[in-house]
Amino acid sequence: MLKEKIILSTILASSLLASDISLNLIDQNPARATPTNLSEIYSFNNSVKEAVKSVVNISTKQRVKQGVNPIEQMFSDPFFRQFFGPGFGGREQMPRERIQKSLGSGVILTGDGYIVTNAHVVENADEIVVSLGDNSKEYNAKLIGIDKDSDLAVIKVDEKNLPSIKVGSSKNLQIGDLVFAIGDPFGVGRTVTQGIVSALNKNKVGINKYENFIQTDASINPGNSGGALIDSRGALIGINSAIMTRSGGNNGVGFAIPVSMVKQIATKLVKDGKVTRGYLGVSIDDISKELHDVYKHKKGALILDISKDTPAYKYNLQRGDLVYKVNDKEIKDASEFSRVIGSFNPNEKITLYVERDKKDITVDIVLGSRDSLHAVSQNSPVMQGLYLSDITNELQQRFRIPQGTNGVLITDVKAASIAEKVGFQAGDIIIQIENIEIDSLNDVEKALNKYEDKPKRVYVNRYGRILVSVVE
């Protein structure tokens, strides 16, 4: 946990401790006041002007492969190759590359260059450039760490005495509090929009895995992602993340990640370069109204399933258990339970308060680590840069895969990755890794577990030809 230190707001935080970021903290429990002097114009310029200096523009470049055109694709079709041979149409067509650019915002956390932003702003970027609003100088930034589950990332520029933002608290926020969203929408320069806290603890929005958003009607437009949500004192209370819209414009429903989560995640990313969360191994859901008569407790997380060889399995949790408290934290629903479990570290001991058969029991559990689970999915690159998917009907048509083909499809290869250098291509189908035949993503996971940190022979089916490559 981040150690809370009250530091005078005039002091810039510029040092990184062994386990913490030294942040420019402000009073964490402020008083509130209502304007009474109607003969004056109330301006928040003094509140926002320092915070504005702490918000930066982030531009990224990513090398993106373009697919071959239909004629070129026809040359690689197995139907034509069986008549004309593998040389039909000339050389095997390789996807072209283009440079994709995007813009976002970030917030300077420390004077020595640590900047927090959204994960989706810098994810997969080959180049990250930071610029301060009133300063034409650009800085090449290094990616320190990224956590897609919370949609947060930390980057760093090699500079000293940067204007770090004052860091407030999201713990004592109230609906109706005045807030300002600061960012660089559309790349036109720093912009401040004003609104109120519309709602707190919003989840099930479908943006991140661990959701606990501050909802605001302050405009959060494209490019504002990663910028600051501040209170009327100019203190950071959240990181702008997304808007809910059907048209692409702002409809007054914006979401920001609370600064309490930002501090926790940023500290872990700076210290370790990643976020390691405690792992329990259960499938959960909210307790429905239909089940209210079955349970004494009306709030909590209902356990629906338990995976084998997990802490939940080891400590004898059961289907139908209702977890209503973790340590001293009341649990109101499944989202909060996931968030609370994810806030603990691997190997940390916790106590679950469980209702089982209308009896209250406690279960002491030592959490496992998610690092032991390989995230083999089409959303995460594995084996040094491969994006994989089970073969679906849609992918079968898009990649012109013959009926009855078995294996796991390579949907994309990360640019400039080891996998690309080895020679893998989108459209290749992995059929075997070492001596394990591959029919699904689960088979890939088994193979990666078995041959972890060892060179692996990977056999692929490329338009009917069987090729083998070695991946470290």
Residue 149 a catalytic site member: no
Residue closest to 103 by CA, chosen among 230, 166, 188: 188
Write out the H or E segment, with its range, that includes residue 84: helix 78-84
- Residue 146, burial from CB neighbour count under 10 angstroms (0-12, 13-18, 19+): buried
**What DSSP assignment string belongs to 238-303?**
EEEEEE--SSSS--S-EEEEEHHHHHHHHHHHHHHSS---EE--EEEEEPPGGGTTT-S-SSSEEE
List 112, 147, 151, 412, catalytic entry: 151
Residue 225 a catalytic site member: yes
List 59, 120, 184, 217, catalytic entry: 120
Whether 144 and 109 have beta carbons less than 8 Å apart is answered as: no
Q: Give phi and psi for 89, each to the nearest 5.
A: 90, 5
| 95-101-107-113 Cα dihedral, nearest 10 degrees | 70
Residue 39 a catalytic site member: no
Residue closest to 54 by CA, chosen among 7, 111, 104: 111
Q: SS3 for 91-118, per residue? A: CCCCCEEEEEEEEEEEEECCCCCEEEEC
Residues 6+ apart with CB under 8 A from 175: 196, 197, 198, 199, 200
Strands 278-279 and 228-231, sheet pairing: unpaired
List 225, 260, 335, 343, catalytic entry: 225
User: For the chain, how far is it from start to end, CA to CA, in angstroms?
Assistant: 36
Partner residues linked to 241 by β-bridges: none
Active site residues: 120, 151, 225
